[in-house]
Amino acid sequence: MAKFCLTMDYISKGKLSVAGVLLKFVNNELLPGTDVEPKKFWDGFDKYVHELSPINKRLLETRENLQKKIDDWHKNKGGKDIDIKEYSNFLEKIGYLKKEGEDFQIETKNVDSEISKIAGPQLVVPVMNARYSLNAANARWGSLYDALYGTDVISESDGAERGKKYNYIRGEKVIKYAREILDKNVPLQKSSWKDINEIPKVENNQLNLKLKNPKQFIGYNKKSNNLSSLLFVNNNLHIDVLFNPNQTRGGLKDKAGIYDVILESAITSIMDHEDSVAAVDAEDKVHGYRNWLGLMKGDLKYEGKKNTGNKPFTFTRKLNPDREYISRDGKKIRLHGRALMFNRNVGHLMTNSSILLQDKSEVPEGIMDAFMTTAAAIHDFKNKKNSRTNSFYIVKPKMHGPDEVAFTNLIFEKVEEVLNLKKNTIKIGIMDEERRTTVNLKECIRAVKNRVVFINTGFLDRTGDEMHTSMEAGPMIKKGDMKSSKWLVAYENNNVDVGLACGFSGIAQIGKGMWAAPDKMADMMSQKVNHPKSGANCAWVPSPTAATLHALHYHQIDVFSKQKELKEKVSAKLFDILTIPIADRPNWSVEEITKELENNAQGILGYVVRWIDQGVGCSKVPDINNVGLMEDRATLRISSQHIANWLHHGICDKEQVLEAMKKMANIVDKQNIRDPDLKGYALYKRMSDNYETSVAFKAACELVFNGKQQPSGYTEPILHRNRLLKKN
C-alpha cells in the first residue's frame, strides 16, 4: 500500500505523519467539546501507538508460527485419521490451547440496562452509510403492522397479495395477526383483543381493560382527552398500542380504533467500521468517523429523495427523540427512543495509510479506531443520547486467543489514559469467531473480566477460520453441510455455556449470528426463535423490519429464565469443538463439485465486484437462485477458503474454478447491471466484458487461488489493495 501513501497530503505530528484530511477532522470536529486538547491527544497517540505497534506485530507473527506448526502436524499425519486426544495434546504443547484457570465471575460495572436487563434483537450496519446508521439507531421502536404487511410473514394467498395499492384483504390479515400477538403477550382476563369493539378508556390513571397480569399496563397517552396510546411490558420489552378512530390504513378503519402496534425492537445496534464497510484510506476512515461522531453528538442527519407516484420529494432523517408517557400512578415516563449503540472497531491484522509511524509503516488500524471512536463517545457522556452510565461499547473482532484479548485491554487502558477517562469506561464485546478464541474462551473472558459486556458466535467467519486452520487436514465437507457438523453445534453451545459459567446473565450479552436473508422473514420467524431458546439474550438481524419481527421471539421466550435452566445442563465438549469437518469419502460427482464451485464463485463475485468497483462494503446480493442475501467479508472468507481447500486437495483444478468464475461473472453482471440499491455509487461495470482488465474479477480470482496463503484466510489484504488500485 505504501506507493498509494506517497501521494497523500501528510502533516508531521511528533514522530507521526498524519493525513491532512484526518488531522483536520480530529482537531476541528472530533476534539472540540471533549476537554481534550489536540496537543495532548496527538502526543499521547504518538507515544502509545509506537509502544503498541511492535506488540501488535509480534502477536500476528505468533498467529503465523502457530499456523505453520498446525500445517506441519497435519502433513506429517499423511491423511491418517486424527486422534482428537493426540491433536489436543499437540495444540496444548505449542501454546495454541491454553491451560484453563480456576472459575471466576465477570466484574463489569456501569452497564446500560439494554445490555444487562433486556433481551432482544441486535442490528448491525455499516457506519459509513448515514441512512442505514440512523435507521439502525431508530429501530429501537418499530411498527408491527408495517413489518407484517410488507413481508412474507403474512401469506399472499386468498387475495392478500402485496402491490402498489393498499390491499384490504391483506390489511385484515395483519390486524388479525397483531391481535393474536396481543392475546399471547398481553392477555385479557376473560376475553380477547379480537373482541374489543371500542377504544379502551383510562380514567384516574386506571385502565378499564381487565388484564390477566395488571402489572403489564405501565402507561398511556391522550390527545384531546381521548386515549391515543397504551403502553404494556412483557419480558422487559415494551408494546405500544396506538389508537385513533379517525386514522385509517388504506381507508380501512379498525373497530377498536387501533391504528398500529409499536414494538420495542432493536434494543442494541452495532455501528460497524469493519466487515461491512470498504474503508481503505484516510478519506474513507474520516467518513466513518464523522458519521459516528454525529451519532454520539446526536446531530447526524441524512437527506434523501423519494418518489411517490409522479411526485418526487426530499426527506431528512435524524435520530428519534425519547418517548414519553403517563404512568398508571400519574407520573411521567420517559423511554429511550434509540437503540443503544456499540461500535465495531477493526481487528489487529489490518493497517491503514491514514497515519504513518516513525519508520513510515502504516498505523495498525484497530489502534487508530480505538482512539478515534472513543474520543467521539466523550460527546455522548455529556448529552447521554446513547449511554446513561457513561460507558462506551467497542466490539472487537478477529482476536485469536487470550493474549490478543489482553492486548486489546492494554490498548483500551492507554486510550482511557490519554482521554482522561476512568478505568474500564471502555467496555468490550468479544467476537468468538476464531477457533483459537473458541477453545480458549474462558481465558479470553478472564483477560477482560472487568470490562466485558458481550460475546457472540458467527457461522461464517468461524467456519472460514475452521477451514483455514485445518487446511492441510483434508478436503472440507460441502459448505451447506457445515451447519449440522459436530464442531459447529458444540461451538454454538460452548459460547453460551462459558458465558453463563462466567456470570454473564444479568450483566452482559451472549449473542448469536446474523439472519442473512432479509426477504425471507417467514423463514426467520420459524427458525430464529432457536436463538433465545438457546440462552442467547441478543441475536443479529439485517434490517429494522427484521428487528421488529425477531422481537416477537423475545416476547415468547423469557431468556433470563432460560439461562437459569441452562446453567444446569452438561457443557459442550472440547473434543467435539476440535473435530475437523473433513470429508470421510470425498467421492462427489463432477456435477456435485461443479454446483458447489459455482455457488461459491457466484457469492464471491457478487460481493467483490461491489466492494472493489463501487466501495460497497455490505449489501443485499442475489445468490445463484436470485435470493437476496446480506453479504459482508465473512461470507467472502468462507466461500474463498472453501474453494482454496478443494483446490489444495485436488477435488477440483484451476481450470474448473476459472471456468466457474467466468460463468458466474456473466450471471452476476446480469443480476447487478440495473440494481436500484446502488444509486449514488459509481456505475456498475461489467466483469465479463474483459476478464483481464476487470480489477474486481482479478481480485476475486486472487482470493481463491491465493487463499491458502492469506493470513488466517482473511480477505482484507487483497480487497484493500485492489480497491486502492481502483480508486487511484
Report the residue count for the chain.
Answer: 728
- The dihedrals phi and psi of 35, each to the nearest 5 degrees, come to 70, 15
Torsion angle of alpha carbons 500, 503, 505, 509, nearest 10°? -80
The residues near 26 (Cβ < 8 Å, ≥ 6 apart) are 38, 41, 42, 372, 375
CA–CA distance, 123 with 91 (Å, rounded to integer): 36
Choosing from 254, 272, 281, 632, the catalytic residue is 632
CA dist 176 and 182 (Å) reads 10
Q: What are phi and psi of 24, to 5 degrees?
A: -65, -40
Q: Which of 405, 406, 460 is nearest to 437 (CA)?
A: 405
Q: Is 323 a residue of the active site?
A: no
**Residue 632 annotated among the catalytic residues of the structure:** yes
d(CA 142, CA 680): 27
**Angstrom distance (rounded) from CA 428 to CA 523:** 32
What CA–CA distance (Å, rounded) separates 279 from 630? 18
Beta-carbon contacts of residue 671 (< 8 Å; ≥ 6 apart): 606, 622, 626
Contact criterion met (CB below 8 Å) for 358 and 53: no
Query: Would you say the C-alpha torsion 443, 445, 450, 451 has a positive or negative sign?
Result: positive
Residue 411 to residue 363: CA distance in whole angstroms: 14
* Active-site residue, selected from the candidate residues 344, 610, 637, 686: 344
| Residue matched to cell numbers 473435530 | 579
Amino acid at 56: N
List the one residue out of 553, 565, 453 whose CA is nearest residue 237. Answer: 553
**Cell triple for residue 470?**
485445518
Q: Distance between CA 207 and CA 577 in Å, rounded?
A: 53
Q: Which helix (H) or strand (E) holds 46?
A: helix 38-77
Three-state secondary structure call for residue 422: coil
Residue 136 neighbours by CB distance under 10 Å: 30
Q: How far apart are the first and last CA of the chain?
A: 11
Q: What are the helix (H) ranges across 186-312?
A: 282-297
Which active-site residues does the annotation give? 344, 632
